[in-house]
Structure 1
Amino acid sequence: MSFDAAYEALTDHDDDARWAYGTGFTDPLAGVDTAVPAGVDRAELAAYCLMLGDDALIMSHRLQQWVTRAPELEDELAIANIGLDLLGQARLLLSRAAEVEDAGRDEDALAYLRDEAEFRNVRLTERADADFAHLVARLLAFATWRLALLDRLTASTDPVLAAIAAKGVKEVTYHRDYAAQWVVRLGDGTALSHDRMQAAMDAVTPLAQELFGAHEAELSLAAAGVAVDPATLRQEFDGVWAQVLEAATLRPSPGPGAPTPGAPTPGAPASDSAAGVSGSGGRHGVHSPAMAEILAEMQGLARTLPGGVW
């Protein structure tokens, strides 16, 4: 189609293929049966979608804070794109949660109008990064765990979760590889970069503890073939973690996700449990102090102008 002015081309919304974000892509849920599978508890499914959606939302927000702070321009672009990938996953999962709970809320209400105790993300996603080494260490832990999770969710008996997972696997594969390359680059670099990378891996390792503790809804839905028991992801996580450490010439911390005996998880209540069903932690709305800071920044505009559109 020809235009007399560049402005006409920009304001033509029929040619969606030209736009880089939000349009011109295949809808991952096109043709997918969105009905809740027979015998599946709607409240549990909504809660599970919130967990996975909140993980992606909060991690995305933290990643976006690194734009303009990364060491190189191409890393700013990479981190921004990883953040956008996770934001896209969050939107799909929060929309599914809103649809399943059928309480009159949408993805925006779930993102912007819930209080801290209503969020169900793991606390690893909340952590502020001391430097770039800490960022890539945290991203490696998150992406390694999430990729193993999404890969198994592609076989979910909920067609919507399976479709979201299939899309996410392609994205998170890149996220994990990007983080792993930087961990190796810094760990096997100069003495200074090695020491900083080692310190970052040591700091992140205890935070991975929570990734493998199961919420009651996860276990119930896993038994129905809808969800994944996070304990089953541990072996794959440990294998990838060990490979990256070896390539990066870094020493293992006290087991990926296993804190030093007697030492509390940073930012976590002392009663936290790493095994079985956890009664506290992010999955039950117990967050680190960093969560209040994140929500104040993320929700400020929506709460200042309720119902505003832009």
Structure 2
Amino acid sequence: MLQSSTSNQPKSGSGAAPADYLLHLADNALVLGQRNAEWCGHAPILEEDLSMANNSLDLIGQARLLYQHAATLKGNGATEDTLAYFRDVPEFRNYTLLELPHSPALLPSAAAERDWATSVVRNFLYSSLMIMVWERLQQSADPQLAAIAAKSLKEVRYHLRHSRDWVIRLGDGTEESHRRAQSAVDHLLPYTDEFWTPNALESEVSASGTGIDVASLRAEWDQMVNETLAEATLTRPAAVKGYVTQGKQGIHSEHLGYLLAEMQSLARAHPGATW
């Protein structure tokens, strides 16, 4: 179980980012960290088993720092443990992209059908965004968030390099690896539309200088993604208009409930336990 080192008293001063914004960032990191950890013992080679485990530890470390900060702001007995383990699906604010199983086919059994291409393409799409987010959050008016961003930026640089190398390796590899990489791109790219949807909270933190409006990063993100896909000989699918996922608004796919049930079961079975 996560061990909190935060005070339960609200943070004083007006320079702190809203707790809900911190929870959005923390939930993203925690959920993807949990998903990537599912590769432990299952990656295609030992080196990648270790790489995914380290990626997960980085993300969970980011989540811890953000939850600690949010808990201090929220007060009323909140801790990193309560925020990670004792909130239900509608209270999580992560992007839907990050909770999907490791398969381009959203089947009930998909969790057992891990597809490496799906996982590395997802990591690439998310890391391409977060390298820009963390870089800009280093200038946040919230000094604690700025410090978290500086630490996280160093980690996400590796995450991006690792996932980008794999996207290129698979896309420009064998016929089978290309097929799998293209299938992952076709499946996952529509979920990234959620990055750019209007959000009152992001407008608020952008105006206060404590956070950023992610929609402003779209052109730079598109360029980074397009250049990588071209190098990987992959085709970006045409934009498809339709439902845009709303995970950051608390509206999730059915997959998050299963993920949280597995992640939270021990803490909920033994509330208050420490070791």
TM-score after normalising by structure 2: 0.89
Q: Which residue of 1 is the match for residue 49 of structure 2?
A: 76
Residue 144 of structure 2: aligned partner:
160
Q: Secondary structure at the match of 2:274?
A: coil
Paired residues of 2:11 and 2:72 also in contact (CA < 8 A): no
Q: Which aligned runs of 4 or more in structure 1 are off by greater than 4 angstroms? A: 34-37
Cα separation, 2, equivalents of 1:35 and 1:105: 12
- For the 8 Å contact 1:154–1:162, the answer to whether it is kept is yes
Question: Equivalent residues in 2 for 1:1-310 (5 A)?
Answer: 37-38=13-14, 45-130=18-103, 131-254=115-238, 259-261=239-241, 263-265=242-244, 268=245, 281-310=246-275
SS in 2 for 1:204: helix
Alpha carbons of structure 1 residues 60 and 139: separation in structure 2 relative to 1, 3 Å: same
Percent identity reads 41
1:117-167 CA-to-partner distances (Å, cap 9, x unmatched) read 111111111010110000011000111111111111000010001000000
Aligned match of 2:5: none
Counterpart residue number, 1:272? none
Partners of 2:64 and 2:12 lie apart in 1 by 18
Of Structure 1 and Structure 2, which has the larger fraction of its residues in helix?
2
Q: Does structure 2 conserve the Cα–Cα contact (< 8 Å) formed by 1:214 and 1:230? A: no
Distance 1:226 1:36 in 2: 15
Where relative contact order (Cα < 8 A, 6+ residues apart) is larger, the structure is 2
Distance in structure 2 (CA, Å) of the matches to 1:295 and 1:168: 24
CA drift at 1:82:
0.6
2:121/2:185 contact within 8 Å kept: yes
**Closer, same or farther in 2 for the Cα pair 1:96/1:214, shift >3 Å?**
farther
C-alpha separation between the residues in 2 aligned to 1:216 and 1:195?
A: 39
Deviation for aligned residue 1:306: 1.3
TM-score (norm 1): 0.80
Contact 2:43 2:49 in 1 (8 A): yes
Matched pairs, number:
256
User: Matched residue of 2:18: which SS?
Assistant: helix
Gaps of 5+ in 2: 3-9, 104-114
Please give the per-residue CA displacement for 1:196-229, whole angstroms capped at 9, x wherever unaligned.
Answer: 1111111110011111224212211111111000
Q: What is the rounded CA distance, in whole Å, between the counterparts of 1:103 and 1:89 in structure 2? A: 23
> Highest CA radius of gyration, 1 or 2?
1
SS at match of 1:120: coil
Unaligned runs of 5+ residues in structure 1 are 1-21, 23-33, 269-280
Check the 8 A contact 1:36/1:158 in 2, yes or no: no
Note if contact 2:138-2:146 (Cα within 8 Å) is conserved in structure 1: yes
Between 1:118-127 and 1:210-219, the stretch displaced more is: 210-219
In structure 2, the partner of 1:17 is none
Give the Å deviation of 1:264: 3.5
CA distance in 1, matches of 2:30, 2:134: 16
Task: Provide the rounded CA distance (Å) in 2 between the counterparts of 1:37 and 1:198.
Answer: 49
